[in-house]
Amino acid sequence: MKRLIQCIAFAALSLPFGVVAAKPIAFAHGTTVMAEYGAGTMEELQVFYAPRYFYSVGGGHLALDSDIDGRSRDITYARFNYLVKRWNREDSQANIFAWGGIGRARLSESADDETAWNAGVQMDYETRRVYSSLKTDLYEGSSFSNRVDTLQLGFAPYEHDYDSIATWLVVQGRRITGGIHDGTEVAFMLRLFKGPVWVEAGATTDGKLQAMAMFNF
Amino acid sequence: MYKSAIWTCALLLAATAADAGTIEMKVNGLVCAFCAQGIEKAFRKNPAVADVVVSLENKLVAVQTKDGADISDQELQATLTNAGYDTKSIERTDTPVATIRENLKSPPK
Domain count, chain B: 1
Does A55 contact chain B (CB < 8 Å)? no
Min Cα–Cα distance to chain A from B39, Å:
8
| A112-130 pLDDT, tens digit each | 899 999 999 999 999 999 9
Tell me the chain A residues in contact with residue B84 when contact means C-beta distances shorter than 8 Å: 25, 27-28, 53, 83, 86, 88
CB A63 within 8 Å of CB A42: yes
Domain extents in chain A? 2-216
* Distance separating alpha carbons of residues B103 and B109, to the nearest angstrom: 10
Does B41 fall in a domain? yes
B71: domain CATH number? 3.30.70.100
Question: Does A198 contact B57 at a Cβ distance shorter than 8 Å?
Answer: no
Kindly tell me if the per-residue pLDDT of B80 is higher than 80: yes
- For residue B80, what are the domain limits? 20-105
| A14-57 pLDDT, tens digit each | 333 332 336 888 888 999 999 999 999 999 999 999 999 999 99
Q: Enumerate residue ranges in chain A where pLDDT < 70.
A: 1-22
Does B80 fall in a domain? yes
* Distance separating alpha carbons of residues B67 and B64, to the nearest angstrom: 9
Tell me the chain A residues in contact with residue B39 when contact means C-beta distances shorter than 8 Å: 27
Min Cα–Cα distance to chain A from B13, Å:
32
Q: Which helix (H) or strand (E) segment is A116 a member of?
A: strand A114-126
pLDDT in the model for residue B108 = 65
Q: Which ipTM was obtained for this model?
A: 0.80
Does B32 contact chain A (CB < 8 Å)? yes
Q: Count the residues in chain A.
A: 217
Give the number of C-alpha atoms closer than 13 A to the C-alpha of residue B94, restricted to the C-beta side: 3
- Its CATH architecture, for the domain A2-216, is Beta Barrel (2.40)
DSSP-assigned letter for residue A196 = T
